[in-house]
């Protein structure tokens, strides 16, 4: 009986402690950060639309920690702006400017 209660407690703790990826709406799109093992401080941020077409791509020369809420919010705001746009994007430094990164 003690083993069953312990097992149930462990499973309950694991379920409540896990976090899934936020739900993506069908018309929003998504972003991806790509990096290279040989160049850890060089990352490429790519933004895709709902049809999996590349909308915008930028290379940043710093390590982006996506566990920080500030980074997540900034990337999601850029994605929203890209979805709202109707014309070509003039600035090629959206991520760098929004996160105040060095070039």
DSSP state letter for 55: E
DSSP calls for 2-43 = HHHHHHHHHHHHHHHH--PPPPPPTTT-EEEEEE-SS-TT-E
Task: Tell whether pTM > 0.75.
Answer: no
pLDDT digits (tens, 9 = 90+) for 43-102: 999 999 888 888 889 999 988 888 999 999 999 988 988 888 755 565 677 777 777 666
Q: Report yes or no: 56 and 82 within 8 Å, Cβ to Cβ.
A: yes
**Residue 76: per-residue pLDDT:** 92
> Taking 60 as the threshold, does the pLDDT of residue 42 lie above it?
yes
């Amino acid at each position: 009986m003690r083993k069953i209660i312990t097992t149930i407690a462990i499973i309950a703790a694991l379920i409540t402690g896990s976090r899934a990826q936020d739900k993506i709406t069908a018309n929003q799109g998504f972003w991806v950060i790509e990096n290279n093992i040989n160049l850890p401080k060089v990352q490429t941020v790519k933004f895709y639309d709902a049809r999996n077409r590349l909308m915008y791509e930028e290379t940043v020369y710093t390590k982006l920690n996506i566990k920080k809420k500030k980074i997540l919010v900034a990337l999601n705001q850029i994605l929203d702006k890209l979805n709202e746009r109707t014309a070509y994007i003039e600035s090629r430094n959206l991520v760098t400017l929004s996160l105040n990164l060095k070039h």
